[in-house]
Structure 1
Amino acid sequence: MSDTPPELVAGPSKSGWLPAKSWQHFVAGGLGGMCGAIVTSPFDVVKTRLQSSLFREKHVGVGLAGNGSHTVVVPRRAGLLWNFVETGHILRDIYREESPRALFKGLGPTLVGVIPARSINFFTYGNGKHVIANHFNHGQENSWVHLTAAACAGIATGTATNPIWVVKTRLQLDAHRVERISEGQRFFGGSWDMIKKIMHEEGVRGFYKGLSASYLGVTEGTIQWVLYERLKRLTAGTQGKGGVQEWLGMLGSAGTAKCVASLITYPHEVLRTRLRQPLVDGKVKYTGLMQTLRLVIAEEGARSLYGGLSAHLMRVIPNAAVMYSIYEAILRW
């Protein structure tokens, strides 16, 4: 007998392989991803810069003092708490030195990428677990069904949207783009310039840099979905009651699942960012997944594989809470 609660069992489909309203997962996932990305965009910029070797030396242990006209170097401090303080310093420096708009660098391609990425991910997972359970597991959902569906969703999403994330990463690493763009030009114009630059310098292959690390990152999405489904079972007693209790259970399940998955798999984020960095003096520094891993550890130590972790957690936990809550709410509505 399966221990799956009745509300999580995939019932028979009247429309063949997919349920009758499979499109709802696509719409709900896209809207949830869009709202989460807008709310947490500044932390995404900080995370990308801390992961990159191009900005680590500039920001590590550097702060502004006095009237802001002098830069002073303060001792590098260890510990997770200081990492959160450092994230605040970097947000302040970006705001002061580059303008408030810089806190939303890459938001254009982020939204262009997040909406289809989340739509594809939630559509593939939500319907994938239905198909796998009905056709390969006697209509019962369990952790193996969730794991398989999550892995398929991660591979499909990574393959389809990798070029968008390459453009977004390049824009976030361009510290001087605000100075070169006229006030009237929006981020989509900057994205188009970056697309042409990548195509001219690196060709089509340039848009698929970091894809191997993205596939490695499928483990994060898999852990997140499986853990989310498990936590949702534990909070099943709050479902249907409405009010604060039900929403706290949903927010807690989504945030906890994302936090645990991120802590386990975070190094792939750093490797992916390094692989997507622009050319330096016309040369490619990071050429492959294992080469990048060895080089980062040799030059900067293993701790650098967790660069930007504080900013990442400050972004992804509320992002996941917002995204999954909207997703679940739209499906219920």
Structure 2
Amino acid sequence: MNFEVFSYESLVHAVAGAMGSVTAMTVFFPLDTARLRLQVDENRKSKSTPAILVDIVKEEGLLSPYRGWFPVICSLCCSNFVYFYCFHSIKASLLKGKPSTPSTDLMIGIAAGVVNVLITTPLWVVNTRLKLQGSKFHNPDIRPTNYSGILDALVQISHQEGIGALWNGTVPSLLLVLNPAVQFMIYEGLKRQLMRGVPRELSSLEVFVIGAVAKAVATTVTYPLQTIQSILRFGQFSSPTDKSRLLSSLRTIKSLLVNRFRKYGILGLFKGLEAKLLQTVLTAALMFILYEKIASFTFKVMGLSNSHYKKR
């Protein structure tokens, strides 16, 4: 089968990636709730992840750790479908079946990430608002919101804050395309090393370990920008009034980073990292296991050649 942008292979990878990520996120969703609270609510004291979740349950109810699950899952499904499709279609088109290299994986990951950010940022802005709606914040300056769902949030944000507000956090998100790009570069590189000389299907344990290592490195390196991204998506901050939107965004990022550093020190830039690492590493590891198994099973059922898939 020819390697084309629109191919069954790319579609299989996209569906498998979306299904794997949605399932994994559902399992570890409460950990993401703890991480987001620590990032956005500056007055909430840093504690262990279990302690934060206990506080949230006591303050807001038993199901509060799963608040905003549906919009997050919708956003994640769309986002990972776009990313996996772009990553594998671009890779197939460029390499034409030839072995890849870490630098190639990194550049393809960045390109796929840029496309993904530009298309799906409004969904992530909305899911951040919905996930935090109804929360009991320790910061009295945070204003409550009232959205009935994804579409209502999109409409309200557009009317009250302007259509551009749906792309709040786009600049740090574009910078953060390095996160999945580095993650995929490390994952694909480790995978090639394990399969070197003998093309085979990796065991679930092997996939779990290399997926966890790849995500841990990518998350730690980019975490300060992830914190700023969450704050910008939440929308409750004072931004500079530069005529240039790009310049304004860059100055906002700089201002938020500097203020957080001055107020809390270097550790303030990594507040919630424990919860984020716990959630994102476990989620990524489980996601890669499900992704590999679903893709492999689908290729076998459809009778498609997946030799290029095993050699990548």
Establish whether TM, by shorter chain, passes 0.5.
yes
Asked if residue 167 in structure 1 is aligned to residue 153 in structure 2, the reply is: no
- Aligned-residue sequence identity (percent) comes to 27
CA offset at residue 205 of structure 1?
Answer: 1.2
Determine if the alignment matches structure 1 residue 143 to structure 2 residue 102: yes
2:83/2:113 contact within 8 Å kept: yes
Residues 150-299 of structure 1 aligned to structure 2 (within 5 Å): 150-176=109-135, 189-236=148-195, 240=200, 246-279=203-236, 288-299=252-263
**Aligned mates of 2:107, 2:168 — CA distance in 1:** 25
Q: CA deviation at 1:14?
A: 2.3
Partner of 1:326: 290
1:101-134 CA distance string (max 9 Å, x none): 2111221111110111111111111222111212
Q: Distance in 1 between matches of 2:20 and 2:147?
A: 21
State how far apart, in whole Å, the 2-side matches of 1:232 and 1:140 are. Answer: 12
Q: Is the 8 A contact 1:133 1:141 kept in 2?
A: yes
CA distance in 2, matches of 1:225, 1:140: 15
Name the aligned partner's letter for residue 236 of structure 1. Answer: M
What are the residue-to-residue correspondences of 1:34-73 with 2, within 5 Å?
34-52=22-40, 55-57=41-43, 59-60=44-45
> Does 2:16 match 1:28?
yes
Quote how far apart the aligned CAs of 1:264 are.
Answer: 1.1
Describe the SS at the equivalent of 2:234.
Answer: coil
Structure 1's unaligned 5+ residue stretches are 1-12, 62-82, 178-186
- Identify which of 115, 119, 131 aligns with 2:77: 115
| Aligned partner letter, 2:171 | S
1:168-190 superposed Cα distances (whole Å, 9 cap, x missing partner): 1112333449xxxxxxxxx9934
Q: Does structure 2 conserve the Cα–Cα contact (< 8 Å) formed by 1:108 and 1:188?
A: no
TM superposition score normalised by structure 1: 0.76
8 Å CA contact retained: 2:34, 2:52: yes
Q: Secondary structure at the match of 1:21?
A: helix
How many pairs are equivalent?
278
Query: Which structure has the larger Rg over C-alpha atoms?
Result: 1
1:156/1:17 Cα in 2 relative to 1: closer, same or farther (>3 Å)? closer
TM-score by length of 2: 0.81
Contact 1:26–1:120, Cα closer than 8 Å, also in 2: yes
Letter in 2 for 1:316: T
Q: What is the RMSD computed on CA atoms of the aligned residues?
A: 2.5
Indicate if the aligned counterparts of 2:3 and 2:92 stay in contact, CA closer than 8 A: no
The CA distance in 2 between the partners of 1:202 and 1:213, in whole Å, is 19
Would you say the 8 A contact 2:3–2:93 is kept in 1? no
